């Protein structure tokens, strides 16, 4: 069997450039020669039908190589997580000027979110968390989709703490959207099981914010109106 080298092809191409090349029966291209033809987009054909079929199979995309390509959905998810992280800081900064204790609660959740970003939040114990549940969100559903306690409307922003309620609601909505983005990014992927534990952490932060919103509206009675789960399925 004769092997056609890159040097041979270069010499022929230098004398007379060509756009197609026939590999005769009994000959094969070296990897370097094949790359030379590929780089110049030169069509390659073979002397027998069997070899032409082999060429077609070689030109098919390699699933393993495709899997190595960056997934745009994961890139989008990273950007969304960075946006939510920035929103945590912005919300905390605005609340510092209005309610220091409330700001501290939000910044505590911000630190928890940062741990999730780094993949360090999967083993968080409930003993390490300040929010242990409330009348409407009991301890057994802390990391589950508990839904919103009530709908935030224009009525609430007219209250004395209306600005604070709106800020917390905006942050909660961003987290809920992020939860669905996580599910979209990992669906069917090889790391699906590894990344789904993020969802319970997001659910916890949403529930904690719901409790803060309820307390900020004033009153000592639980205001939960919606017992259904409408957020993210863990």
230 pLDDT band, cuts 50/70/90, is very low
pLDDT in tens, 6-28: 988 988 888 888 899 888 888 88
Asked if the 72-217 domain carries CATH number 1.10.10, the reply is no
d(CA 210, CA 178): 16
If 0-12 CB within 10 Å is exposed, 13-18 middle and 19+ buried, where does residue 39 land? exposed
Using N-to-C axis directions, what is the helix angle for 100-117 and 198-216, rounded to 10°? Answer: 170
pLDDT at 227 over 80: no
**What pLDDT shows up at residue 28?**
86
Where is 97: in which H helix or E strand? none
pLDDT in tens, 193-219: 545 578 899 999 999 999 899 989 886
If 0-12 CB within 10 Å is exposed, 13-18 middle and 19+ buried, where does residue 168 land? buried
d(CA 86, CA 82): 6
Is pTM beyond 0.85? Reply is no
Sorted by where each begins, the domain ranges of the chain are 2-46, 72-217
pLDDT at 50 over 50: no
As a whole number, the mean pLDDT across the chain is: 80
First to last CA, the chain: 60
pLDDT in tens, 109-160: 999 999 888 875 555 555 557 787 787 787 888 888 888 888 899 999 999 9
**What pLDDT shows up at residue 229?**
43
Q: Which residues pair with 45 in a beta bridge?
A: 22
Q: Which residues pair with 7 in a beta bridge?
A: none
Using CA of residue 84, residue 85, residue 88, residue 90, what is the dihedral sign? negative
pLDDT at 60 over 70: no
Q: What is the DSSP string of 190-233?
A: TTHHHHTTHHHHHHHHHHHHHHHHHHHT--SS------S--S--
Here the tokens at position 55 are 């060429």
d(CA 200, CA 145): 8
Q: Which residues pair with 3 in a beta bridge?
A: 28
The least confident of 67-71, 84-88, 97-101 is: 67-71
């Amino acid at each position: 069997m004769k092997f056609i080298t890159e040097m041979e092809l270069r010499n022929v191409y230098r004398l007379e450039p060509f756009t197609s090349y026939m590999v005769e029966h009994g000959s094969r291209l070296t990897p370097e020669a094949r790359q030379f033809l590929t780089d110049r987009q030169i069509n390659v054909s073979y002397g027998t039908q069997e070899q032409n079929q082999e060429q077609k199979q070689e030109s098919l995309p390699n699933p393993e190589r495709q899997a190595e390509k960056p997934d745009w959905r994961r890139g989008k998810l990273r950007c969304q997580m960075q946006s939510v992280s920035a929103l945590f800081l912005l919300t905390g900064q605005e609340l510092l000027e209005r309610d220091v204790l409330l700001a501290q609660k939000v910044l505590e959740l911000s630190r928890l979110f940062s741990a999730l970003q780094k993949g360090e939040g999967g083993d968080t114990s409930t003993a390490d968390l300040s929010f242990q549940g409330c009348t409407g969100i009991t301890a057994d559903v802390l990391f589950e989709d508990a839904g919103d306690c009530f709908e935030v409307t224009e009525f609430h922003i007219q209250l004395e703490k209306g600005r604070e309620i709106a800020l917390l609601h905006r942050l909660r909505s961003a987290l809920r959207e992020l939860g669905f983005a996580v599910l979209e990014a990992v669906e069917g992927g090889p790391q699906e099981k590894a990344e789904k534990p993020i969802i319970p952490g997001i659910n916890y932060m949403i529930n904690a914010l719901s409790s803060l919103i309820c307390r900020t509206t004033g009153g000592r009675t639980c205001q939960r109106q919606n017992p259904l789960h409408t957020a993210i399925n863990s």
